Structure 1
Amino acid sequence: MRILYSIFVLGVVLALSGFAFIHSGVYNVTAMDEHSSLGKWALHTTMKNSVEARGSEVDVPSNLASEEMIRQGARGYDQLCVACHLKPGLEDTLLRQGLNPTPPSLTEAGAFGPGEQFWIIKNGIKMTGMPAWGVTHDDKDLWEITAFIQRLPSLSEAEYTRLVQPEPGVQAKADDGHDHDHGNMDGMMMMGESSQGESSHGAPGHHAMSGQDSASQSEASGHHSEKEPKAASEPKADDHYADGHSH
């Protein structure tokens, strides 16, 4: 009986200690500090086992390796994923450098199969910065991205570019009516593009001109500040991800 009482008291003490620790603010949640080795192991192992348990139940489409799915998925990947998971020829990005844990580079072969990758893309991963794209995209879109990710590690920089920006003669088989324009994340990738040369801080072309500087330059050159309407960008006819249906 005394043993049970001692266990109960110990449990109460541990619970109160944990409660006090949580409310004390002692633990620093800054993303600038790395997790401890034990913390990394615990978080990664928990995530890996969770994904494997759920991804193993996903039915993988039989046409996952088709060139059409891969081509369509290339555009989705380029618009949604590159800022975190890189592409051939891109070593790092502004966004990726600030994330902790650092997102894996999908240009290298990973441990997850297509079912698991699809589950991650659709459901996201808590407290990693990985969003749940299933909130804004249907399964067809996400399977196309999954198909491309399976091919990505084997692609050269030129091959990647051809898939994302096909030559004029390469057209989509059909417009299936569920295109998406995922937006432009170039601003989050400038550091990666400058990593082979100058740092983005202070590098030419890496900062937008302020309104005041723009006005001053306009007056100095004799131009008035009247704004001309910008022509609306038109989606490419074969772009499965560019009809303005943005998310």
Structure 2
Amino acid sequence: MLGLIEPASVTGGRWKPVLGYLCIRTPGAWFRHLSLRFAAHKRSFQEFSKVMASRASSKSSSGSSSGFGSFVLGFLFALVALGVGGYCYLKFGKPPVAAADPAFPFEAQIVQVPLNARIAKELKQPPFGISEDGFEAGARIYKKECASCHGAPGQDTPYAKWMYPVAPQLWKKHTKNDVVGVSDDEPGETFWKIENGIRLTGMPAYKHILTDTQMWQVALLLKSADQPLPDPVRKLLEDAHPDPVRLAH
């Protein structure tokens, strides 16, 4: 068979065929020649592919790094802008710091979510049950420590509604339902509030003032605020006039 003829080359502006060689080859030799040429081209293509892939990977890595860096810078800038804006609002604006000011949007919800979560996590069970003696002890403590803000049966505290948040009247039915005070709450929840107080409400932490037994006596008394109480207990509470001046005497 005829061998391969090398392509023509251009010399001096004229086409001049260059005959590489012309020989008679056997089919096996011709096939080996083609195989070698194919292998050479294949190696060249593989090397070219590796180079291009390496360049693409380098560009992609560089682009990713650049994009991440831009994101971090933007995030930091946003934090700084929020901090500066918040400071300017607190310094030169009119944030609601007075009890008579309107609340922030969703302020009650923002406060209640962490408060309820904390109480649920630390909720305790009463170490003893209800009794008339316990009610009497709780009524005496309530009369001294609580009535000035939270009222007494049939006697609301006049200034409670002007506090922020409003001090709940614990012997009065809610306006939206027939629940009296916190009688629908678990005693452990009321105990937690008595023990720890609630920040920014005026409710003090009584764990430094009362014993655990005394706080449980008050909590169990308030749990039964919607139930008929023994006469001695009722009389103690009715005498607890919610007037801090009178309570001082």
Q: What's the TM-score once normalised by structure 2's chain length?
A: 0.59
Q: Which residue of 2 aligns with 1:40?
A: 108
Instruction: Assess, with a 3 A threshold, how the Cα gap between structure 1 residues 157 and 41 changes in structure 2: closer, same or farther.
Output: farther
Quick one: which amino acid aligns to residue 88 of structure 2?
A
Q: Name the CA distance, whole Å, in 2 between partners of 1:136 and 1:24.
A: 40
Quick one: which amino acid aligns to residue 106 of structure 1?
L
Q: Name the CA distance, whole Å, in 1 between partners of 2:229 and 2:238.
A: 14
Unaligned stretches of 5+ in structure 2? Answer: 1-68, 172-179
Q: Name the CA distance, whole Å, in 1 between partners of 2:214 and 2:90.
A: 40
Q: Name the CA distance, whole Å, in 1 between partners of 2:87 and 2:105.
A: 24
Kept in 1: contact 2:141–2:218 (CA 8 A): yes
Quick one: which amino acid aligns to residue 43 of structure 1?
V
Q: Name the CA distance, whole Å, in 1 between partners of 2:222 and 2:98.
A: 31
Out of 67, 77, 82, the residue aligned to residue 9 of structure 1 is 77
Kept in 2: contact 1:83–1:95 (CA 8 A): no
Give yes or no for the alignment of 1:95 onto 2:159.
yes
5 Å matches for 1:171-190? Answer: 186-187=243-244
- Flag the structure with larger Rg: 2
Q: Name the CA distance, whole Å, in 2 between partners of 1:16 and 1:7.
A: 14
Unaligned stretches of 5+ in structure 1? Answer: 167-182, 191-232, 234-247
Q: What's the TM-score once normalised by structure 1's chain length?
A: 0.59
Give yes or no for the alignment of 1:115 onto 2:188.
yes
Q: Name the CA distance, whole Å, in 2 between partners of 1:164 and 1:88.
A: 7
Q: From the two aligned structures, give the one with the greater helix fraction.
A: 2
Q: Which residue of 2 aligns with 1:82?
A: 147
Instruction: Assess, with a 3 A threshold, how the Cα gap between structure 1 residues 188 and 163 changes in structure 2: closer, same or farther.
Output: closer
Quick one: which amino acid aligns to residue 186 of structure 1?
D
Q: Name the CA distance, whole Å, in 2 between partners of 1:164 and 1:40.
A: 31
Kept in 2: contact 1:123–1:134 (CA 8 A): yes
Q: Name the CA distance, whole Å, in 2 between partners of 1:85 and 1:126.
A: 17
Deviation at 1:13, TM superposition (A): 1.0
- % of aligned pairs identical? 25
Deviation at 1:29, TM superposition (A): 0.9
Q: Which residue of 2 aligns with 1:106?
A: 170
Q: Which residue of 2 aligns with 1:49?
A: 117
Q: Which residue of 2 aligns with 1:205?
A: none
Quick one: which amino acid aligns to residue 136 of structure 1?
I
Instruction: Assess, with a 3 A threshold, how the Cα gap between structure 1 residues 30 and 164 changes in structure 2: closer, same or farther.
Output: closer
Q: Cα RMSD over matched residues?
A: 3.1
